[in-house]
Amino acid sequence: MLPSQPTRPQPYRAYRLPAFLLSAMLLAAVGVATVWGLREFASSSQWVEHSYQVLGEIEATVAATRTVESSARGYRLTDRSTLHAEYLTSIPGALSSAGRLVALTADNPPQNHLARDLERKVRARLTEIDRLVELHSRDPAQARIDAQTSKGYEQMRELTALAQVMRERERALLAARHARSEHRASLLTALVVLGIGLAMVLLALLMYSLWRENRRSRELERETRQALIDLEASASERHLLTERHRSLSHYAGLLQSCQNLQEAMDMTAHLIADLIPSIGGRCYILRASQNLAETAARFGEEKIVSADLLHPNDCWALRRGQLQQVQGDRGAVRCNHLEPARGGDDPRWNLCVPLMAQNTSLGLLCLSGEQPPQDADLLLIQSIAEQLSQAIVNLQLRETLRVQSLRDPLTGLFNRRYLEENLQRELLRCQRRKLPLSVLMLDIDHFKRFNDTHGHAAGDALLARVGQVLHDLVRNEDIACRYGGEEFTIVLPETDAATALKRAEQIRAAIGSTTILHLRQTFGPATCSIGLATSQDDRETPQQLLQIADAALYRAKGEGRDRVVDGNRALATA
């Protein structure tokens, strides 16, 4: 079980509910105040609009009265019927405006009193105008005299003065209403801002307290989750290590049962692919000559391609006898057998692990991947390399014993059994890689006569000397064998007919200039005949190549010996 974490008491927990209730009350009060303020604002707007209507009706009443007066005066001066009709139609407008003004000011007694006075003065003025119009209709001259002595001017001046008083009072009332609206708006704004501010402060404090407690809870939850993850990772790692140890033990047992190096390499590749599927690479085996390492097995997908054949000097791990790891262009020096880096921030990595035993290089494990390996993977790879190195030593020792049984004791060359085993392998390898392979069949001229003349001991000395010459002239990858009696066979992998013909001429010339010293006597030089055969396609067999080379050898003897005959060319011209 995980240890329980002590929780510290929260000092502000007791104040959370009161703070929440107070915040709710403040927000509710702000809402009520906002609704009341909106209603007051609507009422104030209506009263302001009412004041503007009163002012408008005052102006309309005065204007309508002046219109009646102007129409009547124009009619009296011109007697035009249109002006008389205009006069008659304008009277109801003036009376109507005065009546509406009285109705609008009904809520304001002082203004209503003035409005009624204004209405009476309007009616008085209209009555006077109507009297003059009627008089004009009967007696225009008398109407002009009465107009000069009429009180119309005084009536109109009093009417205008009264209208001005009403305007001033209504404007004062309008200003007061504006001021009251502004005051209420400012008060409402202050109340809303203060209420919301206090509520937000209380809510912020409440949220801060909750946030601190939640953060602590999340920290405890995260610590608990991380502890569980670490526990699961530890259990998974222990299980993985157990499985790897079991696999390594099983692998070590299987290595002891391998019959050859290829089996050991294939088994190693399969084990690495199963235990570390994220990496790929290949296993190399150094040839007995220690000058070339050849790919023996592959596994996974190589992220950094390595050469099929490499020289030990091309790999820093083989040079130093130590593990060599490189990632991109960083770190250690890059081995020459690897493809060039992409440049920039290349995440790919390569690992070269030398296979060594008794201070001798045996081979190489070359691995690569997208992400750098973990320490556990490195330890596993090193353990596999150690076990594989010991297995290689044992298999090579066993192979050495087997090869010794395949050597010709007189010449030191391979015997016919070795030729038959390895010619098949080399031919298939070259055919798979679309490379040529040539075979030389060599026979010492007149060897039977030399043997009969100088004795079998001298004949054996000559055969040993020819074997030494062949051993010195062939390459490390060539196979020189004593085929039987005085016949020798040389397998030249990856060699075309033209190159094989030059090599055959070199061998013929070297044997032709060789002498031997036996029992204080010098014998030689001896000559030889050579038949050549070169693989033409991927369907040829070792027996066919040997038959072609043997037929070319007999043709060389038939043509006079001490010469080289190309069997493929002879078949083409036959």
> Which DSSP symbol is given to 337?
T
Q: What is the pLDDT of residues 254-280, one digit of tens each?
A: 888 888 888 888 888 888 888 888 888
Q: What is the pLDDT of residues 508-528, one digit of tens each?
A: 999 999 888 888 888 878 999
Same domain, 382 and 433: no
Query: What's the Cα-to-Cα distance from 109 to each of 43, 178, 328, 536, 570, rounded to whole Å?
Result: 20, 21, 100, 132, 145
Same domain, 78 and 166: yes
Instruction: Give the pLDDT confidence score for residue 356 in this predicted structure.
Output: 87
The CATH number assigned to the domain holding 394 equals: 3.30.450.40
Specify the pTM: 0.40
If one compares 532 and 302, the residue with the highest pLDDT of the two is 532
What does R_g of the chain's alpha carbons equal in angstroms? 62
Residue-wise DSSP of 184-237? HHHHHHHHHHHHHHHHHHHHHHHHHHHHHHHHHHHHHHHHHHHHHHHHHHHHHH
Q: Is the pLDDT of residue 321 over 70?
A: yes
Same domain, 449 and 390: no
Q: Is the pLDDT of residue 446 over 60?
A: yes
If one compares 196 and 14, the residue with the highest pLDDT of the two is 196
Instruction: Give the pLDDT confidence score for residue 458 in this predicted structure.
Output: 92
Q: Is the pLDDT of residue 1 over 50?
A: no
Q: Is the pLDDT of residue 187 over 80?
A: yes
Same domain, 372 and 441: no
Instruction: Tell which phi-psi region holds residue 321, choosing left (phi > 0), alpha (psi between -120 and 50) or beta.
Output: left
Residue 475 lies in a domain: yes
Same domain, 294 and 170: no
The last residue of a domain, from among 374, 400, 426: 400
Same domain, 275 and 413: no
Same domain, 371 and 454: no
The CATH number assigned to the domain holding 432 equals: 3.30.70.270
Q: Do 336 and 316 touch, CB atoms closer than 8 A?
A: no
Provide the pLDDT confidence category of residue 329 given band limits of 50, 70 and 90: low
- Domain encompassing residue 266: 258-400
If one compares 49 and 247, the residue with the highest pLDDT of the two is 49
If one compares 470 and 160, the residue with the highest pLDDT of the two is 470
Provide the pLDDT confidence category of residue 343 given band limits of 50, 70 and 90: low
Instruction: Give the pLDDT confidence score for residue 334 in this predicted structure.
Output: 82
For tokens 């009072």, what's the residue?
A: 169
Same domain, 138 and 21: yes
Strands (E), 232-359: 280-286, 293-299, 309-310, 324-327, 330-331, 349-357
Residue-wise DSSP of 441-473? EEEETTHHHHHHHH-HHHHHHHHHHHHHHHHHH
Same domain, 440 and 554: yes
Same domain, 346 and 421: no
The last residue of a domain, from among 367, 383, 400: 400
Q: Is the pLDDT of residue 10 over 70?
A: no
Same domain, 530 and 553: yes
If one compares 20 and 307, the residue with the highest pLDDT of the two is 307
Instruction: Give the pLDDT confidence score for residue 331 in this predicted structure.
Output: 56
Q: Is the pLDDT of residue 325 over 50?
A: yes
Strands (E), 304-348: 309-310, 324-327, 330-331
Instruction: Give the pLDDT confidence score for residue 3 in this predicted structure.
Output: 45
Total number of domains in the chain: 3
Residue 354 lies in a domain: yes
- Mean confidence (pLDDT) of the chain: 84
Q: Do 325 and 351 touch, CB atoms closer than 8 A?
A: yes
- Give the active site residues: 486
Residue 438 lies in a domain: yes
Q: Is the pLDDT of residue 572 over 90?
A: no
Q: Do 405 and 371 touch, CB atoms closer than 8 A?
A: no
Instruction: Give the pLDDT confidence score for residue 362 in this predicted structure.
Output: 86
Provide the pLDDT confidence category of residue 212 given band limits of 50, 70 and 90: confident
The CATH number assigned to the domain holding 69 equals: 1.20.120.1730
Instruction: Give the pLDDT confidence score for residue 4 in this predicted structure.
Output: 45
Specify which residues 360 forms β-bridges with.
357
If one compares 234 and 9, the residue with the highest pLDDT of the two is 234
Instruction: Give the pLDDT confidence score for residue 360 in this predicted structure.
Output: 84
Q: Is the pLDDT of residue 399 over 80?
A: no
Q: What is the pLDDT of residues 477-512, one digit of tens each?
A: 999 999 999 999 999 999 999 999 999 999 999 999
Same domain, 443 and 353: no
